[in-house]
Amino acid sequence: MSRIALVTGGTRGLGQAVSLALQQAGHQVAAVYHSHDEEAHAFAAQSGIRVFQWDVADYAACRAGVARVSEELGAPDILVNNAGVTADAMLHKMTPEQWWLVIQTNLGSMFNMSQQVIEGMRQRGFGRIVNISSINGRKGQLGQCNYAAAKAGILGFTKALALEGARKNITVNAIAPGYCDTSMVAKVAPETLQAIIAGIPVGRLGTPAEIGRMVAFLVAEESGFITGATFDVNGGQYMA
């Protein structure tokens, strides 16, 4: 069955792969982006997926943005909270601006976005929310107190919201990707990247498409008995 799916950070990297996977599954996708206008519009032209621009760290912008999507496409039955940023620094050197940028964007957006769709999902008796965490939210990472805290917080948010939505046929799950072949990972120094790959039992980086397929599985009608779970997609690098 075709649904309206909203994907934050949905025009680049993992989010782009998620948007494409949901489109291939037959859903009508709204891909949200914040910056990189040229890339976003090129993706829209190539894929036929509608793109919408707003800042997921801004509650009012999320409210207005979801209202626009609902008016133009229909109320979302699927939400993928994927948008995220990094601002790495050792804690003793981290600025308040670095801390709050990551917390508000990566974790605050869970509230900002989910609250806009949850009531409609409850009324219609169907909803699928997938929150993208990270391997570093599971195990921690040097220089990422802000990022690891936000990504770990997503897991608690997921479990609590899963309990709230369970009787209304709303499932809420999290995916904690490991290191994938994205532009963000491509910026890592070659020697560091080789060390990372050496620590992945399957011997390679993940692909964005593998994350996209996991999302498509979790939002399917047939996945209604799966909720409150975290799926580690990391090639065996970390096992909780």
Quote the CA–CA distance of 240 and 232 in Å, as a whole number: 8
For residues 222, 225, 228, 233, the Cα torsion angle rounded to the nearest 10 degrees is: -50
The beta-strand segments (E) located in 59-105 are 78-81
- Residue 147 designated active-site: yes
- Closest listed residue to residue 234, CA positions, set 198, 180, 174, 156: 180
All residues at 6 or more sequence positions from 209 whose CB lies less than 8 Å from its CB, including other chains: 17, 20, 21
Q: Annotated catalytic residue: which of 33, 59, 147, 179?
A: 147
Residue in the block written with tokens 């982006």: 33
Active-site residues, by number, are 147
